[in-house]
C-alpha cells in the first residue's frame, strides 16, 4: 500500500510508484479524482480528457478497424481463390481466425491491467500489428507454395495477437477520458460509446468498400499493404494525443487478477465445509453463513470484486449465439453474393465483400439518429439518462438478429429456386440472373441489430466491472465474438461432415447451387430464439452495479 505522500499510478495503467507528493493545482475543484496527466501530475478537468482526448482515440479505432476489416472482409475469397481451399474449409478457417482474434483481447487485458498498463499495451500491440501486416503483404506478393501459405497464416495470427492487445485497451482508455461520477461527463460517456461505434463503422465501411475493390480488381499485395500503412498512421495519431490524456491512478500494487483469483481458490478449498440445512423458508442468516464459509479468509472488497465479475457470466453466455450469427456476414453472406448479378452499368462490378458496407452505412446513419433523436425521446419517457437500460438495448438487438437470419434463409431459398428455374444448378461459375440487392434486407436488419447489441454490450461490460478491470470487461465483450467464431467454425465443420454422409450434397457444397445455406440460416435463427429467451431470463434478475445504469 502506498504511503500518504505517494501514489501508485498507471499512465493508463502502467504502475509506477512515485515518492513525491501530488502537485497542488491552482483550482482544486478542477482536479479529476484518481487521475493524472502524462507527467504524473493531477489531471485538470479543463485541460485533460473529455472529447478533445477521446477524439484522438476514436480516430485511432477507426483506422485500426479499417485495417482489420480490410483483411477479414474478403479473406474467404483469398483462401478459396489464390490458396485454392474449399468453401467449407475456408469458412471454417476464417471463423477460427476471427475467433482467436476476438479471444486474444482477454490475454491483452490481463497484460494491460496487471503488467504493462493500457497505454503501453497499445504501443506494443500496435508494433506487433504493423509487423504482422507487413509480413502479410509480403506473403500475398509471393507465388503460391506451401512456404507462402505458412507465411500467410503466421502473419495472419500475428495480426490477431496485435489486435488482441489493441482492442480492449483502446476502448477502455477512451472511456477513461470521462469521469463517470461527474453528471455532465457521465452523460458524455454514454454518448461516447455511440460515437465510438460510429467511428468503428466508418473504418469498417472504408475497409470493406475500398479495400475489397483493390484486392479483387488490382492485386492482393496492395490490398494488404494499405492496411499496414493505415496502422502506422493510427499509431502516430495515438501518440499525438499523449499530453491530453487522463491516466487512471491505481491505489494498490497487487494485481486485481491475483485478488480475484485468490477468492476463487479460497471458495474451491472451502467448498467441502459443512453447509447449513435449508428448510422451506431459507433465511438471510443462513445465506450469510454460506457466504462466510465459502469466502473465509478473503476481505469483503475482494469478495465483492470476484462476485462483480462472476455475475456477468450468465449475460455473457446468453449472447454467445449472437457471436455465431455475427460470423456469417463475412463468410457465407459473401459467398452468396459471388453467385449473383453484381454489375452496375456496362463496366463496374461490385465486389461481393463490398455488400458488407451496407452494414457500416446503416449503422453510420442509424447511430446519430439513435443518439440525437431516439435517446432524448426515450429519456423523456423513462427518466433514464441513457433512454433505455443497457440490457434493454442488447435484448432489442438480439430479437432483430432473429429476423435477420430468417430473412437470410428466405432469400437463399429464392436464390436456389431461381437457379433451378434457369437450369443453372450444375453450372456454379455462371452468374445467376438475380440482382445482388436481394441480399440487402438481411444486411440492413443485421446492421440495426448490431447498432443495438454491440454498443450495448460494450457499455455494459465496461460499466459493470470494478474500475481496475475495465480492460478485462471489454475483453469479455470481445470474447463473445471470439467464442462465437470458434463455435461457428465447429458447427460448420460438423454440419459439413454429417450432411455429406452417404454421398449426399453438403449444406456447404463448393457448388452453392446444390448447397443448403437456407437450412443453416434457419438453424441459426432457431438458436437465436433460444439465446434471446435465456438472455431475457437472466436480464430480468440482473441488478446493476450501484444501480447507475438504470437511473
Indicate if 542 and 398 belong to the same structural domain. yes
Distance, in Å, from the CA atom of 182 to the CA atom of 467, rounded to the nearest integer, reads 15
335: number of CA atoms within 13 Å, CB side? 27
**Beta strands at 247-248 and 348-349: parallel, antiparallel or unpaired:** unpaired
Indicate if 212 and 108 belong to the same structural domain. yes
Distance, in Å, from the CA atom of 54 to the CA atom of 59, rounded to the nearest integer, reads 9
Indicate if 462 and 524 belong to the same structural domain. yes
The per-residue pLDDT for 209 is 76
Looking at 305, 322, 342, the residue that finishes a domain is: 305
Q: Characterise 227 by phi-psi region: left (phi > 0), alpha (psi -120 to 50), beta (else).
A: alpha
CATH of the domain at 544: 1.20.1250.20
Highest mean pLDDT among 4-8, 77-81, 493-497: 493-497
Alpha helices in 176-251 (DSSP H): 183-217, 220-240
The per-residue pLDDT for 119 is 83
Residue range of the domain that includes 85: 50-248+313-550
Indicate if 97 and 229 belong to the same structural domain. yes
Indicate if 480 and 511 belong to the same structural domain. yes
All three cell numbers of 247: 491516466
Distance, in Å, from the CA atom of 254 to the CA atom of 196, rounded to the nearest integer, reads 31
Note whether residue 372 is domain-resident: yes
Average pLDDT over residues 375-400: 83
All three cell numbers of 127: 508494433
Average pLDDT over residues 22-41: 66
**Beta strands at 247-248 and 31-36: parallel, antiparallel or unpaired:** antiparallel
Query: For 271, which DSSP code?
Result: G
The per-residue pLDDT for 287 is 40
**Percent of all residues in the chain with a pLDDT value above 90, rounded to a whole number:** 15
Indicate if 542 and 488 belong to the same structural domain. yes
Coil, strand, or helix at residue 434? strand
Note whether residue 9 is domain-resident: no
* pLDDT band at 297; cut points 50, 70, 90: low
The per-residue pLDDT for 278 is 44
The per-residue pLDDT for 135 is 92
**Beta strands at 42-44 and 31-36: parallel, antiparallel or unpaired:** antiparallel
User: Per-residue pLDDT for 194 more than 70?
Assistant: yes
The per-residue pLDDT for 308 is 72
Q: What value, to the nearest 5°, has the Cα angle with vertex 32 and ends 31 and 35?
A: 115
Query: For 542, which DSSP code?
Result: -
Indicate if 451 and 434 belong to the same structural domain. yes
Q: Tens digit of pLDDT for each residue in 402-452?
A: 999 999 999 999 999 999 998 988 888 888 898 888 988 998 898 889 888
- The answer to whether the predicted template modeling score (pTM) of the entire model surpasses 0.75 is no
Note whether residue 10 is domain-resident: no
Residues 6+ apart with CB under 8 A from 7: 17, 18, 22, 36, 249, 251
Coil, strand, or helix at residue 329? helix
Indicate if 285 and 204 belong to the same structural domain. no
Distances (CA, A) of 56 to 52, 97, 238: 7, 29, 6
* pLDDT band at 28; cut points 50, 70, 90: low
Burial code (b: 16+ CB inside 10 Å, e: under 16) for 437-459 equals ebbebbbbbbbbbbbbbbbbbbb
Highest mean pLDDT among 38-52, 214-228, 267-281, 514-528: 514-528
Note whether residue 8 is domain-resident: no
Distance, in Å, from the CA atom of 350 to the CA atom of 268, rounded to the nearest integer, reads 57
Tell me which of 92 and 237 has the higher pLDDT: 237
Q: Give the residue carrying C-alpha cell 435465456.
A: 534
Q: Poorest-confidence range of 100-114, 276-290, 426-440, 486-500? A: 276-290
The per-residue pLDDT for 253 is 54
Average pLDDT over residues 239-266: 72
Task: Note if the bond before 138 is cis, omega within 30 degrees.
Answer: no
Across all residues in the chain, what is the average pLDDT? 79
* pLDDT band at 281; cut points 50, 70, 90: very low
User: Per-residue pLDDT for 397 more than 60?
Assistant: yes
The per-residue pLDDT for 294 is 61
The per-residue pLDDT for 547 is 44
Query: Whose CA is closest to 19, among 32, 39, 3, 41?
Result: 3
Note whether residue 17 is domain-resident: no
Indicate if 170 and 264 belong to the same structural domain. no
Q: Poorest-confidence range of 130-134, 321-325, 363-367? A: 363-367
Q: Tens digit of pLDDT for each residue in 462-494?
A: 788 777 677 677 778 878 887 888 888 889 889
The per-residue pLDDT for 16 is 41
* pLDDT band at 169; cut points 50, 70, 90: confident
Q: Is residue 473 classed exposed, middle or buried when 0-12, 13-18 and 19+ CB atoms within 10 A define those classes?
A: buried
Residues 6+ apart with CB under 8 A from 463: 180, 390, 473, 545, 548, 549
Indicate if 494 and 431 belong to the same structural domain. yes
Specify the number of domains making up the chain.
2
Average pLDDT over residues 354-372: 79
Indicate if 283 and 323 belong to the same structural domain. no
Note whether residue 187 is domain-resident: yes
The per-residue pLDDT for 10 is 46
Indicate if 322 and 301 belong to the same structural domain. no
Note whether residue 389 is domain-resident: yes
168: number of CA atoms within 13 Å, CB side? 36
Residues 6+ apart with CB under 8 A from 109: 168, 169, 471, 472, 474, 475
Q: Poorest-confidence range of 43-47, 74-78, 466-470, 512-516? A: 466-470
* pLDDT band at 17; cut points 50, 70, 90: very low
3-state secondary structure 355-423: HHHHHHHHHHHHHHHHHHHHHHHHHHHHCCCCCCCHHHHHHHHHHHHHHHHHHHHHHHHHHHHHHHHCC
Note whether residue 518 is domain-resident: yes
Amino acid at each position: 500500500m502506498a504511503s500518504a505522500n505517494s501514489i501508485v499510478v498507471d499512465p493508463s495503467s502502467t504502475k509506477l510508484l512515485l515518492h513525491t507528493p501530488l502537485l497542488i493545482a491552482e483550482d482544486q475543484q478542477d482536479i479529476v479524482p484518481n487521475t493524472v496527466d502524462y507527467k504524473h501530475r493531477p489531471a485538470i478537468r479543463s485541460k485533460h480528457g473529455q472529447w478533445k482526448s477521446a477524439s484522438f482515440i476514436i480516430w485511432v479505432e477507426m483506422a485500426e478497424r479499417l485495417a482489420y476489416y480490410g483483411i477479414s472482409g474478403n479473406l474467404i475469397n483469398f483462401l478459396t481463390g489464390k490458396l485454392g481451399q474449399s468453401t467449407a474449409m475456408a469458412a471454417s478457417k476464417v471463423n477460427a481466425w476471427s475467433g482467436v482474434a476476438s479471444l486474444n483481447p482477454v490475454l491483452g487485458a490481463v497484460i494491460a491491467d496487471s503488467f504493462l498498463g493500457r497505454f503501453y499495451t497499445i504501443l506494443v500491440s500496435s508494433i506487433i500489428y504493423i509487423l504482422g501486416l507487413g509480413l502479410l503483404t509480403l506473403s500475398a506478393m509471393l507465388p503460391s507454395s506451401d512456404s507462402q501459405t505458412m507465411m500467410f497464416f503466421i502473419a495472419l495470427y500475428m495480426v490477431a495477437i496485435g489486435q488482441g492487445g489493441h482492442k480492449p485497451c483502446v476502448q477502455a482508455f477512451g472511456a477513461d477520458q470521462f469521469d463517470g461520477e461527474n453528471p455532465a461527463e457521465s452523460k458524455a460517456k454514454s454518448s461516447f460509446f455511440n460515437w465510438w461505434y460510429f467511428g468503428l463503422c466508418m473504418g469498417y465501411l472504408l475497409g470493406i468498400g475500398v479495400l475489397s475493390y483493390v484486392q479483387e480488381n488490382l492485386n492482393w499485395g496492395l490490398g494488404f499493404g494499405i492496411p499496414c500503412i493505415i496502422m502506422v498512421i493510427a499509431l502516430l495519431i495515438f501518440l499525438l494525443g499523449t499530453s491530453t490524456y487522463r491516466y487512471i491512478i491505481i491505489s494498490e500494487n497487487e494485481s486485481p487478477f491475483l485478488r480475484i483469483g485468490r477468492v476463487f481458490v479460497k471458495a474451491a478449498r472451502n467448498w467441502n465445509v459443512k453447509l447449513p440445512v435449508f428448510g422451506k423458508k431459507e433465511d438471510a442468516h443462513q445465506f450469510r453463513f454460506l457466504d462466510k464459509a465459502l469466502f473465509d479468509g478473503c476481505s469483503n472488497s475482494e469478495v465483492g470484486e470476484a462476485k462483480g465479475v462472476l455475475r456477468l457470466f450468465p449475460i455473457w453466455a446468453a449472447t454467445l449465439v449472437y457471436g455465431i450469427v455475427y460470423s456469417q456476414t463475412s463468410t457465407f453472406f459473401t459467398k452468396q453474393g459471388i453467385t449473383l448479378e453484381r454489375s452496375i452499368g456496362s463496366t463496374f462490378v461490385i465486389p461481393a465483400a463490398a455488400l458488407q458496407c451496407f452494414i457500416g452505412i446503416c449503422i453510420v446513419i442509424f447511430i446519430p439518429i439513435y443518439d440525437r433523436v431516439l435517446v432524448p425521446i426515450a429519456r423523456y419517457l423513462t427518466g433514464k439518462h441513457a433512454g433505455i437500460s443497457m440490457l434493454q438495448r442488447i435484448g432489442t438487438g438480439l430479437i432483430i438478429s432473429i429476423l435477420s437470419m430468417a430473412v437470410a434463409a428466405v432469400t437463399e431459398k429464392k436464390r436456389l429456386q431461381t437457379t433451378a428455374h434457369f437450369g443453372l444448378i450444375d453450372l456454379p461459375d455462371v452468374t445467376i440472373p438475380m440482382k445482388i440487392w436481394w441480399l440487402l434486407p438481411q444486411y440492413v436488419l443485421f446492421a440495426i441489430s448490431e447498432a443495438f447489441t454491440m454498443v450495448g454490450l460494450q457499455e455494459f461490460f465496461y460499466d459493470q466491472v470494478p474500475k481496475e478491470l475495465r480492460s478485462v470487461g471489454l475483453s469479455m465483450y470481445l470474447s463473445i465474438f471470439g467464442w462465437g467464431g470458434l463455435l461457428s467454425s465447429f458447427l460448420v465443420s460438423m454440419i459439413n461432415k454429417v450432411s455429406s454422409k452417404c454421398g449426399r450434397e453438403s449444406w456447404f457444397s463448393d457448388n452453392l447451387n446444390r448447397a443448403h445455406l437456407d437450412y443453416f440460416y434457419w438453424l441459426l435463427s432457431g438458436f437465436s430464439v433460444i439465446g434471446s429467451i435465456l438472455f431475457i431470463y437472466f436480464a430480468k434478475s440482473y441488478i446493476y452495479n450501484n444501480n447507475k445504469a438504470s437511473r
